[in-house]
Structure 1
Amino acid sequence: MSERLPEGLDEFLDDAGWGGAVIEPLPGDASFRRYFRIRNGGQSAMLMDAPPPNEDPAPFLHVGKWLAEQGLRAPGIYAERPEQGLVLIEDFGQDRMRDWLDTHPDEERAVYAKAVDALVELHRCPPGPFDPYDMAVYLREAELFVEWYCPAVGLAVDGAGFRAAWEAVLQPMLPRQRPGVTVLRDYHAENIMLLADGAQGLIDFQDALVGHRAYDLVSLLQDARRDVSPRLEREMLDRYIAAAAPDAQFEADYARLGAQRNAKIVGIFARLWKRDGKPRYLPMIPRVWDALERDLAHPELAPVAEWFAANVPQHLRDAGGGEIA
């Protein structure tokens, strides 16, 4: 990560009342965004550097303000200059759920229970003023698998059949996601902060859409970056069902969205390597692939499962996705 400071940062911090603060770069993620911890005496804040044209902080500001209006724990916004890509926000500390659980494994069940309960609370809110998670978006995401993963492992596949299979699987679900709930889309252990007051803070929600209530649950319980045992997944799924009382097709839709999301993630991780030169995501593919295989076993996924059987050789599947060239 480059530690070069954003252009215009000194003026921005001066105007925000944080002039002369100590600036600490933080590790980046899979995007062009960078983060810095800003310390001024006994106070601290987080700086988001989301430089145009590759990034735009406006969606983060839009979603974050809406979440705060609903009483959910998005970071407070101290200062903003969207045209420069600079946003100064509340510092949620350093207890990221994934890292904290590495050192407190006995607390796993309780922490996941709180994360599930936060989704129940979010889903009781009216859907936010965001675009719909519609068929076009689902297909565009799923097709990342054939666009990036398949070429990376040397597979020539039936792209039209892939799209048709997903349409057949997802179409029955669409009426059940109306009027819908706010879907954060990256709700997992790396994007949940454990706060000093016992609450869980939300980050990385700028891509929110209005869609199906199962999506963020899948994101949490079939986490690409952290092992979640099938037993814990089942327990937390049951916890959500007991609290939210979804319709009878909820578990089938959970499998649909699990398979769609996991196919997308395999494609994204292949793209991060082949296009962006970021190989650190490749070791996560077997974990994602394992969840994908479990989702494909659901009877409602038959058209997509048949496509995988015809297009992805068993030796690649047995190897958790195989080697990417």
Structure 2
Amino acid sequence: MTDRMALARDFLRGTDWAGADTAPLAGDASNRRYLRVSRGMETAVLMDAPPERGEDVRPFIAVGQRLLAAGLSPPRILAQDTDHGFLLLEDLGDDLFARIIPQKPKIEPDLYRAATDVLVHLHRQPLPEELATYDAGMMADKAALAFEWYAGAAQCSAAHEAVLTALSAHADDSVLIQRDYHAENLLWLPGRDGVARVGLLDFQDAMRGHPAYDLVSLLQDARRDVPPAIAADMLAYYIAQTGQEQDRFTAAYHVLGAQRNLRIIGVFARLCLRDGKAHYIDLIPRVWGHLMHDLDHPALADVAPFIIDGLPAPSDAFLRDLKNRCATSPLL
């Protein structure tokens, strides 16, 4: 038994779930892992977030409380050990959007409408003052990960400045952004009402940011193809529901989309080259397609040449080379 497993058993012994059975659930790109805890017909989820590997459960607790108070559906916390990085969470089930849409494709528009309604609702709530701001400078630095890790080149200062200028023109920190709001972090809970029908996961990195950011995360999904008609409808729906000025919000949507897709390309390359997680390379072509679509918007006319000239297109040969250079000892 590993030290973490022994600590987890000790944690559970101090709860009502002592002696319960555990089984692994899917992990994510972080150092966290999840276990389903069972006793008879009841289940819960154990989050194991090792502090020695840079994880901290306190932001998850704080943001989750905010979301719960807003009438949304993050998992309720049943027990916690913040010193050792353990949380026992309400089990919201297995019906991730990404899992049930292939089984029930006719409900796909309804699920995306429900997820957009969550953003409309959340963006009307008071903004937590304690959250840091995802500002233009930080976003431009994260976009530069594409040059560093994907292209394997020194940061292009001209590209960085162009991205920074575009982001600064659409600076806004008026809402809570979850920053990883997509179909693999959303659960369908049809037994609940209204916006509570969407279960929320992986929101611990929430910050203050632009209202378009999570909408981009939802509709320009790195892991699945969102039908273009649904994406267009939800963008228009959000604008109509919130009274945003259409042209300005649409421009911001594409500027933030370009930033986010650059960051993701860099992060996926880093997950391979540094951490040995080669499967993330397979997702890059989809993200590249989103990036090229965003760069077509006039708001990015000054940015597009630097990106197109500075980053290699994800050809089969280029991606194969990235995979060949993946770390040989994955950090699990």
Q: Does 1:228 align with 2:226?
A: yes
Deviation at 1:308, TM superposition (A): 1.9
TM-score under structure 2 length normalisation: 0.90
In the other structure, the counterpart of 1:116 is: 116
Match of 2:245 in 1: 247
Contact 2:284/2:314 (CA < 8 Å) preserved in 1?
no
Q: Which residue number corresponds to residue 150 of structure 2?
A: 149
Is 1:285–1:321's contact at 8 Å kept on the other side of the alignment?
no
Greater CA deviation, 122-131 or 180-189? 122-131
Deviations 1:12-47 (A, max 9, x none): 212211111111111211111010000112211000
Partner of 2:57: 57
Q: Residue in 1 aligned with 2:79?
A: 79
Shift of the 10–241 alpha-carbon distance from structure 1 to 2, 3 Å rule, reads same
2:165 is the counterpart of 1:168: yes
3-state secondary structure, aligned to 1:197? coil
Q: Contact (CA 8 Å) 1:270, 1:324: kept in 2 or not?
A: no
Could you say which residue in structure 2 is the equivalent of 1:257?
Answer: 256
Q: Give SS of 2:308's match.
A: helix
Aligned equivalents of 1:320 and 1:72: distance in 2? 45
> In the TM superposition, what whole-angstrom CA distance separates every residue of 1:233-257 from its partner, at most 9, and x where no partner exists?
1011111111111134100000000
Alignment of 1:96-107 (within 5 A): 96-107=96-107
Asked whether 1:10 is paired with 2:1, we answer no
Distance 1:127 1:22 in 2: 39
> 2: distance between equivalents of 1:310 and 1:285?
18
Mapped to 1, the partners of 2:166 and 2:142 lie a distance apart of: 15
Question: In the alignment, what sits opposite 1:159?
Answer: 156
1:206 aligned residue: 204
Give the Cα–Cα distance (whole angstroms) in 2 for the partners of residues 157 and 5 of structure 1.
38
Q: Is residue 311 of structure 2 the alignment partner of residue 296 of structure 1? A: no
SS in 1 for 2:184: coil
1:185-210 per-residue CA deviation (whole Å, 9 max, x = no partner) reads 00000000112514110000000000
Q: Cα–Cα, structure 1 residues 40 and 104, in superposed 2: closer, same or farther, change >3 Å?
A: same
- Does the CA contact (< 8 Å) of 2:20 and 2:37 recur in 1? yes
For 1:70, the equivalent position in structure 2 comes to 70
Deviation for aligned residue 1:324: 4.2
- What is the RMSD of the two structures over their aligned residues, measured on CA atoms? 1.9
Is contact 2:36–2:43 with CA below 8 Å preserved after alignment? Answer: yes
SS of residue matched to 1:89: strand
Asked if structure 2 preserves the Cα contact closer than 8 Å seen for 1:168 and 1:303, the reply is no
Maintained 8 Å contact 2:58/2:82 = yes
Give the length in aligned residue pairs: 315
1:193 equivalent in structure 2:
187
Where 1:260 maps in the other structure, the secondary structure is: helix
Mapped contact 1:290–1:320 kept (Cα < 8 A): no
Once the 2 structures are TM-superposed, how far is the Cα of residue 150 of structure 1 from its aligned partner? 0.5
Structure 2 residue identity aligned to 1:213 = P
Unpaired segments ≥5 residues, structure 2: 323-332
Amino acid at match of 1:71: G
- 1:138 corresponds to: 139
How far apart are the structure 2 equivalents of 1:243 and 1:253?
A: 17
Which SS does the other structure have where 2:303 is aligned?
Answer: helix
Write the deviation string for residues 108-145 of structure 1: whole angstroms up to 9, x where unpaired. Answer: 11111101111101111111231111123202211111
Residues 80 and 158 of structure 1: CA distance in aligned 2, closer, same or farther (over 3 Å)? closer
Q: Give 1:318 deviation, angstroms.
A: 6.9
Identity over aligned pairs, percent: 43
- Using structure 1 for the length normalisation, give the TM-score: 0.92
Helix, strand or coil at the partner of 2:160: helix
Amino acid at match of 2:182: H
Residues 319 and 242 of structure 1, relative CA distance in 2, 3 Å threshold: farther
